[in-house]
């Protein structure tokens, strides 16, 4: 029995180090993805047909194809451009590093999903409030900053919480595609490696699953607190409820 | 001009490419079979979730919620591995001399269960079914609760038995409410079929990797450089096309399923 406990603790320590890589991928890609998503949302809603269609096409392409293929496609594209572009510029060490390329591809992916969520929220903003703001003589940017955006973020927050959890889960795929350098392994890659050593699939994958679960619960908790703050002025606001499907 | 055209035609129809086109069948089979399993597990999970017996209800709730916290790829890799090991453990009970070496798998060579593409494909479909069955169970359980109570009460007032109410009214009307969610589950599932190569299946992803890799031959020199991104781009477009067609198909099914329903506009 103590042998089992010891084995679990060893796994917890080894996979704890691996979790840092998953967390890094998520933390590096989420702010970038969110910023880009706001721009894509505005573009999708633009009066310029060309811009609106381009943004819509971007969202459709990234939401309609598997992240696994996007990883392969963008990684091999980066490899193919290595000799002609990155090497002459002297940035091949940066571009081909999984710690740069991984978050970049994750950010491109989450941009599309987040933009779709924000776009849906934008269309649900009460028209009356926007008209009232116009009647008050607010300009375009002031209207967006003070009336539209607070509505958008409140409406989008539950779905965005889900998106962040799904993005964290998507980080599990990064090292199936990108090369492992200097033993920098994430949870799935490390669990696979441990499995190859002693073939104890139940132990290693359970501990990895527990780490994913713990981080997911932490995200739900923190985002729930933020949601309560966002909804603090709404009487009888419902607590955050999570749906199971990615937007 | 015609020469380049002829080159591309012969390049794209050589034996290795024909094998690659044939491997699309694995993706299609995994999607259809996985979808069928997902629907089966989904209905089972929803039945457990809505059961009146507390232990069954708990089991259903745990099943539905497990996919919230753990990525699908972990289940996708773990289930086939664990299943294979379980079978090998059972074989080892009778086939192996007692006291097989620790840290060795399988315990003895006789207990090795060789899995071919067919077996892996079936295991992959089952694990897709288990993961997306949890999503489906959530959708179906929600849809069952969305059917207006009055409809069920009216059915009971007609003297229908519980089973008749369930099969003739409850489940029939449930589909309209479930379809948007089922469409979402299906789109997630077809995207997950891109993971087949992780289970030793030479599927379209692995095929693209092999075909696109820089190609040298001793007699002809460099045939082509690194073309992998082109092949992956083709796969990307393939998946976008499948998504587009699925959306169209689900829209048609929804229109058909909600004909004559007063709430059709809300779906």
pLDDT (tens digit per residue) in B178-219: 999 999 999 999 999 999 988 888 889 998 988 888 877 777
Q: What is the CATH number of the domain that holds A121?
A: 1.10.3720.10
A61 touches chain B (CB under 8 A): yes
3-state secondary structure of B215: strand
Sign of CA dihedral A67, A72, A78, A84: negative
pLDDT at B122: 93
Contact A169 B208 (CB under 8 A): no
Pick from A188, A197, A201: which is nearest to B81 by CB? A201
Crossing angle of helices B117-146 and B24-49, in 10° steps, is 40
ipTM: 0.89
| pTM assigned to the model | 0.89
Which of the residues B194, B198, B211, B227 would you substitute to probe the A interface, choosing the one with the greatest number of A C-beta atoms within 10 Å?
A: B194
Q: What is the CA radius of gyration of chain B?
A: 24
Measure CA of the first residue to CA of the last residue in chain A; give whole Å: 44
Contact (CB, 8 A) for B99 and A205: no
Interface test with B, best of A69, A85, A177 (most B CBs within 10 A): A69
What are the angstrom distances between the C-alpha of B232 and each of A38, A96, B120? 28, 18, 23
| Domain presence at residue A211 | yes
Interface probe for B, chosen from A201, A211, A221, A240 (most Cβ of B below 10 Å), is A201
Q: Count other Cβ atoms within 10 Å, centred on residue B207.
A: 22
In this prediction, residue A171 carries a pLDDT of: 94
Q: Does the beta-carbon distance from A69 to B185 stay under 8 Å?
A: no
Q: Is the dihedral of CA B88, B89, B95, B100 positive or negative?
A: positive
**Residue from B31, B46, B64, B69 whose CB has the most chain A CBs within 10 Å, to mutate:** B69
The answer as to whether A62 is a domain residue is yes
Q: Which of residues 25-84 of B touch A (CB under 8 A)?
A: 64, 67-74, 77-78, 81-82
Tokens 């003070």 -> residue = A146
Per the structure, how many domains does chain A have?
A: 1
Encoded tokens for A186:
């994430």
CB contacts under 8 A, B 98-127 vs A, are 103-105
Which of chain A's residues have a Cβ under 8 Å away from the Cβ of B214? Answer: none
Residue A63 lies in a domain: yes
Of B74, B229, B232, the CB nearest to A212: B74
- In angstroms, the CA A233 to CA A230 distance is 8
Between B74, B81, B243, which is nearest A64 by CB?
B243
CA A173 – CA A166 distance, rounded (Å) = 12
Give the pairing type, strands B215-217 and B221-224: antiparallel
- Domain annotation covers residue A247: no
> What residues in A contact B70, CB-CB < 8 Å?
169, 209, 212-213, 216
Q: What are the residue boundaries of the structural domains of chain B, listed by start? A: 23-92+105-202
Residue A207 at interface with chain B, using a CB cutoff of 8 Å: no
Interface list for B 225-244 with A (CB within 8 A): 225-229, 232-233, 235-236, 239-240, 243-244
Q: Which residues of chain B carry a pLDDT beneath 70?
A: 98-104, 262-267
Asked whether the beta carbons of residue B68 and residue A165 sit closer than 8 angstroms, the reply is: yes
The number of C-beta contacts closer than 8 angstroms across A and B is 118
Mean pLDDT by runs of 10 across the 247 residues of chain A is 84 92 95 96 94 96 94 92 85 87 95 95 92 93 93 93 94 91 88 87 92 93 91 75 57
Give one word for A186, left, alpha or beta, with left for phi > 0 and alpha for psi -120 to 50: beta
Angle between helices A149-170 and A2-44 (to 10 degrees): 140
In A, which residues are within 8 Å of B236 by CB distance? Answer: 61, 65, 69-70, 73
What is the rounded distance in angstroms from the CA atom of residue B1 to the CA atom of residue B4? 5
Residue B100's pLDDT is 54
Which regions of chain B does DSSP assign to beta strands (E)?
215-217, 221-224
Q: Which two tokens stand for residue A22?
A: 């998953």
A205 at interface of B, judged by CB pairs closer than 8 A: yes
Query: B229 and A80 in contact by Cβ < 8 A?
Result: yes
Per the domain annotation, does A33 fall within a domain?
Answer: yes
State phi, psi for B221 to the nearest 5 degrees: 75, -150
What domain range is A169 assigned to? 2-230
CA dist., res. A77 & res. B230, Å (int):
8
Residue numbers in A near B104 (CB within 8 A): 199
- Distances in whole angstroms, Cα of residue A140 to Cα of each of A143, A148, B169: 5, 10, 52
Task: Give which of A211, A201, A192, A178 is closest to A22, Cα–Cα.
Answer: A211
A44 CB-near residues (< 8 Å, 6+ apart): A52, A55, A56, A59, A115, A119
Which residues of B fall within a CB distance of 8 Å from A242? 68
- CA closest to A72 among chain B residues: B232
Residues of A in contact with B78 (CB under 8 A): 201, 205, 209
Q: Kindly state whether residue A185 falls inside one of the protein's structural domains.
A: yes
CATH topology for the B23-92+105-202 domain: MetI-like fold (1.10.3720)
| C-alpha–C-alpha distance, residues A243 and A222, integer Å | 17
| Residue in B with minimal Cα distance to A198 | B103
Q: Distance (Å, rounded) from C-alpha B258 to C-alpha A25?
A: 43
Residue listed under structure tokens 């028209």: A127
In contact, B160 and B68? CB cutoff 8 Å: no
- At B94 the pLDDT is 79
pLDDT at B264: 46
Cβ-based contacts of B74 with chain A (< 8 Å)? 172, 188, 191, 205, 208-209, 212
Supply B242's token pair: 């499948």
Q: Which residue has tokens 């598997």?
A: A66
């Amino acid at each position: 029995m103590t042998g089992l406990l010891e084995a679990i603790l060893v796994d917890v320590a080894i996979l704890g180090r691996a979790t840092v890589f998953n967390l890094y991928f998520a933390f590096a890609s989420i702010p970038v993805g969110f910023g880009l998503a706001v721009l894509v949302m505005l573009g999708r809603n633009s009066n310029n047909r060309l811009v609106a269609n381009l943004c819509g096409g971007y969202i459709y392409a990234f939401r309609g194809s598997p992240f696994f293929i996007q990883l392969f496609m963008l990684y091999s594209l980066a490899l193919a451009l290595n000799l002609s572009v990155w090497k002459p510029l002297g940035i091949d060490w940066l571009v081909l590093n999984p710690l740069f390329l991984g978050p970049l591809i994750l950010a491109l992916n989450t941009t599309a999903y987040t933009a779709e969520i924000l776009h849906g929220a934008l269309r649900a903003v009460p028209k009356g409030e926007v008209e009232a703001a116009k009647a008050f003589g607010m300009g375009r940017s002031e209207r967006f900053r003070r009336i539209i955006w607070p509505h958008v973020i409140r409406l989008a927050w539950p779905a965005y919480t889900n998106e962040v959890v799904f993005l964290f889960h998507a980080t599990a795929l990064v090292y199936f595609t990108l090369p492992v350098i200097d033993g920098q392994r994430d949870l799935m890659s490390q669990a696979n490696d441990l499995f190859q050593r002693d073939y104890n699939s139940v132990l290693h994958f359970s501990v990895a699953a527990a780490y994913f679960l713990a981080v997911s619960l932490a995200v739900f908790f923190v985002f729930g607190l933020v949601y309560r703050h966002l909804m603090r002025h709404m009487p009888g606001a419902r607590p955050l409820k999570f749906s199971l499907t990615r937007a | 001009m015609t020469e380049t055209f002829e080159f591309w035609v012969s390049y794209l129809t050589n034996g290795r490419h024909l094998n690659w086109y044939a491997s699309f069948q694995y993706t299609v089979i995994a999607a259809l079979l996985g979808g069928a399993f997902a629907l089966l597990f989904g209905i089972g999970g929803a039945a457990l979730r809505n059961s009146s017996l507390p232990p069954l209800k708990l089991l259903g709730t745990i099943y539905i919620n497990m996919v919230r916290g753990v990525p699908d790829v972990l289940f996708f890799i773990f289930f086939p591995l664990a299943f294979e090991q379980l079978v090998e453990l059972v074989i080892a009970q009778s086939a192996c001399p007692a006291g097989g070496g620790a840290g060795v798998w399988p315990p003895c060579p006789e207990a090795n269960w060789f899995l071919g593409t067919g077996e892996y494909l079936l295991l992959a479909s089952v694990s897709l079914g288990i993961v997306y069955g949890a999503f489906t169970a959530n959708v179906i359980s929600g849809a069952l609760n969305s059917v207006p109570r009055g409809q069920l009460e009216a059915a009971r007032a007609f003297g229908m038995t519980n089973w008749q109410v369930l099969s003739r009214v409850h489940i029939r009307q449930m589909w309209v409410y479930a379809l948007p969610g089922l469409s979402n589950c299906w789109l997630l599932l077809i995207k997950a079929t891109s993971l087949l190569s992780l289970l030793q299946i030479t599927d379209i992803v692995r095929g693209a990797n092999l075909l696109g890799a820089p190609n040298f031959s001793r007699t002809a020199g460099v045939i082509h450089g690194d073309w992998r991104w082109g092949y992956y781009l083709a796969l990307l477009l393939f998946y976008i096309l499948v998504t587009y067609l699925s959306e169209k198909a689900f829209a048609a099914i929804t229109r058909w399923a909600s004909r004559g329903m007063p709430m059709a506009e809300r779906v």
